[in-house]
Each structure stands twice: as structure tokens, then as C-alpha cells.
Amino acid sequence: MPATRPPPVRQRPWGCRAACAAASAALLTACTGARQAPEPAPATAPPALRLIGTAAIAPGTEVLGTTFGGISGIDYDPVRGRWLLISDDRSALQPVRIYTATLRYTATQMEAPAITGTAPLRQASGAPFPSPRRPEPGVDVPDAEAVRWLPGGDGLLWTSEGDFARGFGPQLREARADGAWVRNFPLPAAFTPSADRQRGPRANATLEGLALSPDGRTAWLAMEAAWVQDGPRPTPQAPGGPLRITAIDIASGEALRQIAYVPDAVAHARRIPWGPQWNGVSEILADGPHHLLVLERSYSAGAGFSARLYRIDTRAGSDTLALPALKTEGTALDTATPKTLVADLGQLGAGTLDNLEGMAWGPPLPTGGRVIVFVSDDNFNPAQATQFIAVEYRPAATGTAAP
């Protein structure tokens, strides 16, 4: 979730808005040694994107007894041919929930999606999670941000940024397709902010990104921004501190490995003297067994949103899982994962970008072309909309597909 809503409506803290200019791969230091990463494959020319089409759902649209909006994650089930959307609605009496949808496109256009079902995400007790207006003792009010179908489409993984005000850190959970609770994953202790908030993740800047490996065995979790001890948030003048992307074994729940990623500087300085200016990672997506696509989204008050898509090799960079702190000065013991720009989404011809928070692979084109669908979170703001953007993910001009 991001920084604050653009005027004229009431503001609200966000947590992700990413994108920006200059890619950077900064040197990191730490007070302990780090495990070496597997050897990365030889570099190839970067892929690119081609716009297929866009569609939108207006803010305030009533769907199946709910107010549709707050869509922070999207995924596609190739077994049943259905799309999955997750809403981070924390402003109403409605509980956190998922939607199913149909979404069709051709090589040159995209139809408006049709919402086909909805269900609340549930606690272990079987009750829906509480809304912010009706909290329950001992139960977090989730801030849902990302969702992925598990293989077969009978279950799903979803993340919450946490409920810091009530003492709950970020969460990774498994649910059935109908929203019923299956389990909570025990994340490493370092994912919980310290009592004095001087270490660990920042509130509203935690588990924005979730990717599932092609074999369905590993979940990658991406923080939106650097932990407090790892560096500052991005500004228009400088990139942010390194944020952490962690591999989790789905069967055991064990954290396997972690890499560091440096987000860009904020794309534009704010154009009014108040309001946020933000950049961070809003989603990740597996591109084969060893690569991730990383969506950075940026927002500046008065200047609006921007977004860039990068590609990284998860075998590059050192393992930071055991490192208590990452620094950008001093002895170079660790290296951030290099990133390759795929596209500036603002240059695709899709019009004004909204708050892009989710992305997923869709059915391929008849030509075999691979398709990515992006979706935005309207924050239940009348000045925004739920924006869908379909693009063809194309290999390099040389004709060699990225590994």
C-alpha cells in the first residue's frame, strides 16, 4: 500500500508507489559475512514490452454486494481460466477479500473485466478477518497486498503488510480458493519491527511483492522499502536504501535465501509543498526459475504516478538473510543484485498511469507471445480508478529469449 492519496480527497498513508529513473546497483556492507550466491547465467539483452490495451473499473462500483476497489494483487489460474484479485480495503466495514474474474484480450485490445465471484479471507476460527472499524482483540486487521494461486488453483498465498498499530508485523498466509484459512507462515524474527521501531520493516512498507517459482515450491517475498537499519527511503535526489527479497520454502515455511535490491530515486519531485513523494517495489513476478520481474512504482503529490519494470537474476548478489544490517558505506562485503530496465510503463502509450500494485502472467497470445497484466489500487478514491493494462512481454530485438 502506498503513501497518500492525491488531492482533492482525504489523504491516507500508502507504502509503495514505485518507479523512477536511474537504476543503481549499490555496494552493501554488513557486520557479518554472507553466504555466496549461485553463479549467475551470462547476461542477455533485456526484454521489452508492447502495449496490448487498457481497461478500467470506475471507483465506487458495486459488485456482488461489495464496493469494488483497493485491488493490490492479481494472478491467473491456467487450469480453470480464471483471474484472482485481492482487495486491501481497510477503510470500510467490509473485510479483506478476494475476487475472481474473467479478463479477455487480443493482440491489440483488452476487454473490461467481468467480476464473477467474491469471498472474504478468513481466520483460523472460520470467521472473516475484522475490519478497521471493528477490530477484535488478538486478531490483526490485514493490509492485503499480494496474492498468487498455488499450482492447480485450489489454494492461494497472500501477504499482509501487517497491523503495526496493534502489534502485528507482516504476514504470509495460505488460504483455500474460497478464502478459508489454511496456515500462517512463521517468518524470520527480523521481519517483526522492534518495540522502539529502530530496527526491522517500516510500517506500511513491508510485504508488497509476492512471486511463485515455476515449480510452485518457492515463494519470493519483496519488501516495499528498506528496513530502518538498512537505509533511508528514496527521495527525488537519491535512491533508497537496499530492500530485502526473501525466498521461502512453501512446504516447510523455512527462509532459504535473501537478496538485496536498491530502488530508484523518486521519479518526480512533488509539485505542491505538502504531500508524499515515494518510490518502492509494489510487486514481483517470476520469469523462469532464476529471474524476477520487479515493478517499482513512484508517486509524488501533484505530479502523479509513474512505474518502471526491471528484471533481476536471483543468483546474483550475496545472501543477506543472516545480516542484521545493510549499509551503503564502508567496506564492500556484499553486493546488491544488479537490475536491468525492461520498460518505463509511462512510455507505452497507456495514458496516465494510476497506482499500479499488481502484475501477473496471463494466457499467451495466439502467436505464442507472453502477456503480463498490471492492475492498480484505486484506494477507494473518487479521483482514481482500478486500471488494467495488458502488455506483450517480448524478447530482445536479437530474437534470443531471456533465460
The vertex-289 CA angle with 288 and 293, nearest 5°, equals: 50
**DSSP string covering 120-150, please?**
E-B-TTSSBPPPTTS--TT-----EEEEEEP
**What local confidence, expressed as pLDDT, does residue 317 receive?**
83
The DSSP H or E segment spanning 69 is none
Amino acid at 126: G
By C-alpha distance, which of 212, 194, 211 is closest to 203?
194
The vertex-234 CA angle with 360 and 196, nearest 5°, equals: 100
The series of mean pLDDT values per 10 residues for the chain, 403 residues long, is: 41 35 36 44 69 97 95 97 92 86 98 97 96 89 97 97 94 98 97 93 96 98 97 95 97 97 96 93 97 98 97 93 79 74 97 97 96 97 96 69 46
Q: How many CB atoms lie within 10 A of CB 327?
A: 21
**What local confidence, expressed as pLDDT, does residue 247 receive?**
98
**What local confidence, expressed as pLDDT, does residue 89 receive?**
81
Q: Which of 181-188's residues contact partners 24+ apart within 8 Å by CB, and which partners?
A: 181/121, 181/122, 181/123, 181/124, 181/126, 182/155, 185/248, 185/253, 186/253, 187/248, 187/255, 188/246, 188/255, 188/321
DSSP 402: P
Q: Under a CB-based contact definition with an 8 Å cutoff, are residues 328 and 241 in contact?
A: yes
Please report the beta strands in 46-112, taking only residues with DSSP state E, as ranges in sequence order: 48-57, 62-63, 66-67, 71-77, 82-87, 97-102
Identify any residues that bridge with 67 across adjacent strands, giving them in sequence order: 62
Instruction: Give, in order, the Cα–Cα distances in Å from 260 to each of 124, 240, 287, 299, 327.
Output: 33, 12, 18, 22, 11
- Spatial separation of the C-alpha atoms in residues 307 and 270, rounded to whole Å: 16
Instruction: Give, in order, the Cα–Cα distances in Å from 70 to each of 13, 86, 145, 150.
Output: 14, 8, 9, 22
Q: Under a CB-based contact definition with an 8 Å cutoff, are residues 181 and 124 in contact?
A: yes
Q: Under a CB-based contact definition with an 8 Å cutoff, are residues 364 and 344 in contact?
A: no
